[in-house]
Amino acid sequence: MWPLLLPTALLLLVSSDIGAGLQKAVVILDPEWVRVLEEDNVTLRCQGTYSPGDNSTKWFHNGSLISHQSANYFIGTARVNDSGEYKCQTALSMTSDPVKLEVHIGWLLLQTTQQPEFREGDTIRLNCHSWRNKRVHKVTYLQNGRGKKFFHENSEFRIPEATQKDSGSYFCRGMIGRNNKSSETLRITVGDPTTSPSVPPWHQITFCLLIGLLFAIDTVLYFSMQRGLRSSTAVYEEPKLHWSKEPQDK
């Protein structure tokens, strides 16, 4: 039986490793825009598993540990130097994936909810955001220089089910008081999800290959053991025949 135990033990080892890998903390932005203007308020929330004795959170900004230790990291009146990658970690979770925050200076900023690589089928959310939330009206969202959407009163522009045709260079413009203002352009790409959107998930590929291999080993072992059992029952039956024959011989 022990040859079967080895692959099973390996399998358990691999799956517990993957299990630990799943317990990654997550950084959530509130509001969810990854690009903000100076003086905006942003809260970064860390979602992770805490241990009963340790409810502190480690925050990393551009790779260095910062002194903040609670689950919510509030950036009031953001500054350009608050830009960069944020990661968090709790007692019972691994370090989160980085979330990139960009703090810009200007009157208008075209905001999105993720770094500008989208996949087909995603919803692209664009927001024409003004400095200190000043009132903006007659807002136009433009793609490659052409007007795509107009709002009398400022409003978010959503592109549901994005396709590759939605890739391009976007900006917004509108009136702040009597002034005609424009945002900088933002390049948005919508990738084909079938042609590897980013880095292939090597962890998962290795995992699947390992499972397949172990399954093959198990199957081979199972059949060879069955064959072994069948031949051993045959060996055991033979004496029975002898035994039943013996009285006849006598």
Ligand X SMILES: *[C@@H]1O[C@H](CO)[C@@H](O)[C@H](O)[C@H]1NC(C)=O
> What DSSP character marks residue 45?
E
Residue 104 touching ligand X (CB under 6 A):
no
- Give the one residue of 46, 136, 173, 190 binding ligand X; rule: CB under 6 A: 173
Residue 135 touching ligand X (CB under 6 A):
no
User: What is the Cα 69 distance to its own chain's centre?
Assistant: 24
Candidates 101, 18, 2, 20; CA nearest to 59 is 101
The span from the first CA to the last CA of the chain, in angstroms, equals 42
Piece in contact with ligand X (CB under 6 A), picked from 35-43, 91-99, 158-166, 195-203: 35-43
Return the residues of window 40-59 that contact ligand X according to CB under 6 A: 40-41
Residue 81 touching ligand X (CB under 6 A):
yes
d(C-alpha 234, C-alpha 250), whole Å: 25
To ligand X, the closest distance from the beta carbon of 180 in angstroms equals 4
Residue 133 touching ligand X (CB under 6 A):
yes
DSSP characters for 201-244? -HHHHHHHHHHHHHHHHHHHHHHHHHHHHHHHHHHHHHHHHHHH
Applying CB under 6 A, the site for ligand X has a residue count of: 13
- Give the one residue of 64, 67, 179, 180 binding ligand X; rule: CB under 6 A: 180
Residue 39 touching ligand X (CB under 6 A):
yes
Piece in contact with ligand X (CB under 6 A), picked from 34-42, 96-104, 184-192, 197-205: 34-42
- Give the one residue of 10, 34, 175, 176 binding ligand X; rule: CB under 6 A: 175
Residue 62 touching ligand X (CB under 6 A):
no
Exposed/middle/buried for 242, CB within 10 Å: 0-12, 13-18, 19+? exposed
d(C-alpha 38, C-alpha 80), whole Å: 7
Piece in contact with ligand X (CB under 6 A), picked from 8-16, 74-82, 221-229, 237-245: 74-82
Q: Which amino acid is at 52?
A: P
To ligand X, the closest distance from the beta carbon of 32 in angstroms equals 15
Are 82 and 16 contacting, i.e. CB atoms less than 8 angstroms apart?
no
To ligand X, the closest distance from the beta carbon of 78 in angstroms equals 9
Binding positions for ligand X, rule: CB under 6 A: 39-41, 76, 79, 81-82, 132-133, 138, 173, 175, 180
